Amino acid sequence: MARHEDKRPKAQRIANEIRALIMSGQWEPGSQIPKTDDLIKAHKASNVTVQRGLDILKAEGLLEGRSGTGVFVRDRAPQTITPVSYMAPSDPGEPYRWSTEATRRGQRGSNQVLSVGEVATPKRVARALGVKAGVVAVLRTRLGLLNDEPAELSYSYYPTELARGTRLADRRKIPGGSPTLLAEMGYPPREQADEVAARPATTEEYELLEIPGDVPVLEVFRIVYSDDRRPIEVTVLVKPGHLYKMGYHLPVS
């Protein structure tokens, strides 16, 4: 079988190699990267090509040039988000766990409700909810921010018989978040199933998440179940792939 050859532009390949070193922590936050001559030798490329590769990563915010000093990895490491930490209802009087988890990490978490309304369910969502494609569901679209920077775009679908006439169906923010409201309504979240994928951003995602260049996004397709494994929420979460990782802690049986 013939070897699959990487025919992407050399500068893009250099940027991809360096990005992997940053995302893995091999090149630590705040550290100075190797000198240009060393990068030229390591990648067997011209100075112009190496600089183009570095410029890609500077545009992404992964590298920063410091006048008279050199080029450094940004001070903030790629952040690992543990999805299960947002599933449980908030404690009485506490805000949505997106905010409390951000505070625990030394950040400021907030969210914007972009739209709320009844829509025809896409096929994938319909299958997850156990209804026919096109059946109407309530859709809440939100933008999650960390330190006022866009971090997550979420599209949450709810069965109309469950959501219609409740806070799930209006544009106001929900005290404690949807897990808290669902629990108060008699549908406590008991289980979630996630599918994670990486893909190019749509135009809406590109603009709302302020994604630089051709950076991919992480997509999490999540089904939340209540008692008797009833699906009560289907959410598509989208995050910038160069800033965030998904973390899971699972017991070994």
CATH number of domain containing 48:
1.10.10.10
- Claim to verify: residue 146 and residue 228 sit in the same structural domain: yes
Same domain, 216 and 107: yes
Q: Classify residue 44: in a domain, yes or no.
A: yes
Instruction: Count the domains in the chain.
Output: 2
Nearest-angstrom CA–CA distance, 64 and 73: 6
106 shares a domain with 60: no
Of 66-75, 104-113, 211-220, 244-253, the one with minimum mean pLDDT is 244-253
Residues 180, 151, single domain; the answer is yes
Q: Please report whether residue 251 resides in a domain.
A: no
pLDDT tens digits for 53-82? 999 999 888 999 998 889 999 888 778 777
The verdict on 55 and 177 lying in the same domain is no
CA dist., res. 194 & res. 233, Å (int): 12
In 3D space, the residue among 177, 171, 163 whose CA is nearest the CA of residue 231 turns out to be 163
Domain termination residue (choose one: 24, 47, 73): 73
48 vs 253, residue with greater confidence: 48
Task: Tell me, yes or no, whether 232 and 194 share the same domain.
Answer: yes
Asked which of 19, 42, 73 is the last residue of a domain, the reply is 73
Whole-structure pTM value:
0.84
What are the E-state strand segments in the chain?
63-66, 70-73, 79-81, 109-120, 136-146, 149-159, 191-199, 217-225, 231-240, 244-246
Model pLDDT for residues 90-127, shown as the tens digit of each residue: 777 677 777 888 888 888 989 999 999 999 999 999 99
Is 129 found in the same domain as 35?
no
Based on the fold, state whether residues 99 and 149 are members of the same structural domain. Answer: yes
- What local confidence, expressed as pLDDT, does residue 97 receive? 78
pLDDT at 37 over 70: yes
Lowest mean pLDDT among 75-79, 148-152, 184-188, 205-209: 75-79
Element (H, E) at 48: helix 47-60
Contacts of 29 (CB under 8 A, 6+ apart): 73, 74, 75, 76, 77
Q: CB 136: neighbour CB atoms within 10 A? A: 14
The neighbouring-strand residues paired with 152 are 144
Let me know: does 53 contact 15? Beta carbons within 8 Å: yes
The yes-or-no verdict on residue 213 having pLDDT over 90 is no
Q: What CATH number should be reported for the domain holding residue 116? A: 3.40.1410.10
Closest by CA to 58, choosing from 235, 213, 236, is: 213
- Based on the fold, state whether residues 139 and 199 are members of the same structural domain: yes
Range of the domain at 60: 10-73
Measured in degrees and rounded to the nearest 5, phi and psi for residue 242 equal: -90, -5
Both 116 and 182 in one domain: the answer is yes
pLDDT for the residue numbered 247? 81
Name the 3-class secondary structure at 60: helix
Instruction: For residues 69 and 93, state if they share a domain.
Output: no
Give yes or no: residues 147 and 199 share one domain: yes
